[in-house]
Amino acid sequence: MTKSKMADRYSPEVRARAVRMVFEHQGSYETQAGAIAAIAPKIGCIPQTLSGWVKQAEKDSGMRDGVTTEERDRIKTLERENR
């Protein structure tokens, strides 16, 4: 599968729901990784995929340092303009 097909595999709604499930249920597990490992098969993805979505959601909400989705999109736009 190409990267673009893989990116379209899960709708934004499914991603948001999965991330929300992790945040809501992580208190029931010893670690966030435990919650991710339990929830990922329920939505049909591997834990690494869900972990990436959770990390990005944490960046977007300011809970984790890093480039937000909005900033990343802005950087891509600026890079395209400079070509």
pLDDT digits (tens, 9 = 90+) for 6-43: 567 899 999 999 999 999 999 999 999 999 999 999 99
In terms of Cα–Cα distance, which of 62, 29, 28, 25 is closest to 43?
25
Please list the alpha-helical segments (H only) found in the chain.
3-7, 12-25, 32-43, 47-61, 69-81
**CB proximity list for 10: less than 8 A, separation 6 or greater:** 18, 43, 45, 49
Number of domains comprising the chain = 1
Q: Which domain holds residue 19?
A: 3-81
Give the domain CATH number at 48: 1.10.10.10
Percent of the chain with pLDDT over 90: 88
What tokens does 74 get?
A: 């802005």
**What is the reported pLDDT for 65?**
96
